[in-house]
Structure 1
Amino acid sequence: MNFPRKYGFLASLLFSLGAGGLLYCAAPPLNLWLLGIIGIALLWLLSTGGVFSRFCCGVLSGFTYFYLLFDWATIASKTELARVALALSQSIFIGLLLVIWTLWHRLVNRSSRHQAIILSVTLILDAFAWVLVEQCRSSFPFGGMPWGTLAFSLVDSPLINLASFGSTQLVGFCAVLSAVLIAQAFVSLTRLRFFTVITTAVTAVALILAPTFIGQYALPTGEVKVGVVQGNVPDEEKLGPKQSRALIVTQNHADVTSKIVRDKPDLIIWPESSSDRDIRSDSEAKAILDAVLEETTGTPMLLGTQKYMGTTRTNDVLAIENSEVVGTYSKQHPVPFGEYLPWRSFIEKIVPEAKKISVDMVSGDSPAYLSVKTANGVVRAAVPICFEVAYTSIVSEGAKNANLLVVPTNNASFGYSGEPLQQLAMTRFRAVELRKSAIQASTSGTSAVVSARGVVRYQSDLFEQAAKTINVPLYETLTFAVRSAKIRETGIFIAGIAMIIAMFGISLRNRQRNR
Structure 2
Amino acid sequence: MIVRLTLAVAGGLCLWLSFPGPAIWPAAILGVALLALATKGVRARAGFLLGLVGGFACFGPTLHWAGTYVGAVPWLALAITESVYIALMAAACSLVQSARRWERLPQWLSPADGPHVRPLAVALLWVLQEAVRDSMPFGGFPWARLAWTTAGSPLAHLASIFGAPGLTFVVALLGGWLALAIDRVRRGMPPARAILPRLWPVVAGLAVLGIAAAYPTPTSGKKLQVLAIQGNVPTAGLDFNAQRRAVLDHHVKETDKAAAAIKAGTMPEPALVIWPENSSDIDPTRNADAGTEIVRTVDRIGVPLIVGAVLQEPAPQTSNTSLLYLPDKGIVARYVKQHPVPFAEYMPYRSFFRHFTKTVDLAGNFAAGHKTGLFRIPTKSDGVVQVAPIICFEVAYDSLTRNPVKDGAQLLAVQTNNATFGYTAESEQQLAISRVRAIELGRSIVHISTVGVSGLITPDGVVHDKTSLFTPAALSAALPLRTGETLAVRVGPVPEWLGCAAALLLCAAAVGGNRSSRRRSVSPEEVRELV
Task: Name the TM-score, length of structure 2 as normaliser.
Answer: 0.90
2:58 to 65, 88, 97: 65
| Bigger Cα displacement from structure 2, 166-175 vs 420-429 | 166-175
Say whether the 8 Å CA contact 1:412–1:443 is kept in structure 2: yes
> Match for residue 5 of structure 1?
none
Equivalent runs, 1:290-439 vs 2, <5 Å: 290-297=295-302, 299-309=303-313, 310-322=315-327, 323-357=329-363, 359-375=364-380, 376-400=382-406, 401-439=408-446
1:175 is the counterpart of 2:175: no
> Match for residue 483 of structure 1?
490
CA distance in 2: counterparts of 1:362 and 1:500, whole angstroms: 39
After TM superposition, give the deviation of residue 110 of structure 1 in Å: 6.8
* Superimposed CA distance per residue, residues 382-413 of structure 1 (whole angstroms, 9 cap, x where no aligned partner): 22211111111111012221111210001110
Equivalent runs, 1:201-220 vs 2, <5 Å: 201-220=202-221
CA distance in 1: counterparts of 2:236 and 2:120, whole angstroms: 52
RMSD: 2.1
CA distance in 1: counterparts of 2:217 and 2:478, whole angstroms: 20
> Match for residue 274 of structure 1?
279
Q: Which runs of 5+ in 2 are unaligned?
A: 523-531
Q: Which runs of 5+ in 1 are unaligned?
A: 1-8
Q: Helix, strand or coil: the match of 1:228? A: strand
CA distance in 1: counterparts of 2:102 and 2:213, whole angstroms: 39
* Superimposed CA distance per residue, residues 279-329 of structure 1 (whole angstroms, 9 cap, x where no aligned partner): 1221121121022023113x1011111122333111101122233222211
Report the AA paired with residue 257 of structure 2: K
Say whether the 8 Å CA contact 2:389–2:414 is kept in structure 1: yes
CA distance in 2: counterparts of 1:17 and 1:200, whole angstroms: 24
The higher relative CO (CA closer than 8 Å, separation ≥ 6) is in 2
Say whether the 8 Å CA contact 1:104–1:503 is kept in structure 2: yes
Equivalent runs, 1:150-165 vs 2, <5 Å: 150-165=146-161
1:16 to 8, 12, 20: 8
CA distance in 2: counterparts of 1:186 and 1:246, whole angstroms: 56
After TM superposition, give the deviation of residue 252 of structure 1 in Å: 0.5
Q: Helix, strand or coil: the match of 2:38? A: coil
Shift in CA distance, 116/274, structure 1 to aligned 2, threshold 3 Å: same
CA distance in 2: counterparts of 1:276 and 1:329, whole angstroms: 15
CA distance in 2: counterparts of 1:141 and 1:193, whole angstroms: 46
Q: Helix, strand or coil: the match of 2:468? A: coil
* Superimposed CA distance per residue, residues 345-370 of structure 1 (whole angstroms, 9 cap, x where no aligned partner): 1011211111122x411211111432
1:56 is the counterpart of 2:49: yes
CA distance in 2: counterparts of 1:164 and 1:110, whole angstroms: 33
CA distance in 2: counterparts of 1:15 and 1:494, whole angstroms: 29
Shift in CA distance, 244/57, structure 1 to aligned 2, threshold 3 Å: closer
Q: Helix, strand or coil: the match of 1:328? A: strand
CA distance in 2: counterparts of 1:139 and 1:235, whole angstroms: 34
Q: Helix, strand or coil: the match of 1:107? A: coil
Say whether the 8 Å CA contact 1:305–1:315 is kept in structure 2: yes
CA distance in 2: counterparts of 1:292 and 1:218, whole angstroms: 32
Say whether the 8 Å CA contact 2:127–2:496 is kept in structure 1: no
1:255 to 250, 253, 256: 253
Report the AA paired with residue 178 of structure 1: L
> Match for residue 94 of structure 1?
86
Report the AA paired with residue 157 of structure 2: N
CA distance in 1: counterparts of 2:480 and 2:38, whole angstroms: 47
CA distance in 1: counterparts of 2:3 and 2:37, whole angstroms: 10
Say whether the 8 Å CA contact 2:394–2:400 is kept in structure 1: yes
Identity of aligned residues (%): 31
* Superimposed CA distance per residue, residues 29-52 of structure 1 (whole angstroms, 9 cap, x where no aligned partner): 111101111111111101222322
CA distance in 1: counterparts of 2:500 and 2:102, whole angstroms: 27
CA distance in 1: counterparts of 2:23 and 2:173, whole angstroms: 20
1:43 is the counterpart of 2:35: yes
Report the AA paired with residue 379 of structure 2: T
Task: Name the TM-score, length of structure 1 as normaliser.
Answer: 0.93
CA distance in 1: counterparts of 2:187 and 2:356, whole angstroms: 53
Q: Helix, strand or coil: the match of 1:169? A: helix
> Match for residue 230 of structure 1?
230
Say whether the 8 Å CA contact 1:228–1:469 is kept in structure 2: yes
CA distance in 1: counterparts of 2:476 and 2:204, whole angstroms: 45
Report the AA paired with residue 245 of structure 1: Q
* Superimposed CA distance per residue, residues 151-194 of structure 1 (whole angstroms, 9 cap, x where no aligned partner): 11111221111100111111111111111111111111122253
Report the AA paired with residue 70 of structure 1: L
CA distance in 2: counterparts of 1:135 and 1:227, whole angstroms: 35
Say whether the 8 Å CA contact 2:95–2:507 is kept in structure 1: no
1:103 is the counterpart of 2:95: yes
Equivalent runs, 1:134-149 vs 2, <5 Å: 134-149=130-145
CA distance in 2: counterparts of 1:91 and 1:188, whole angstroms: 29
Say whether the 8 Å CA contact 1:270–1:441 is kept in structure 2: yes
Q: Helix, strand or coil: the match of 2:296? A: helix
Q: Helix, strand or coil: the match of 2:354? A: helix
After TM superposition, give the deviation of residue 112 of structure 1 in Å: 5.1
Counting matched residue pairs gives 501
Say whether the 8 Å CA contact 2:99–2:511 is kept in structure 1: no
CA distance in 1: counterparts of 2:428 and 2:242, whole angstroms: 29
Q: Helix, strand or coil: the match of 1:461? A: coil
Q: Helix, strand or coil: the match of 1:350? A: coil
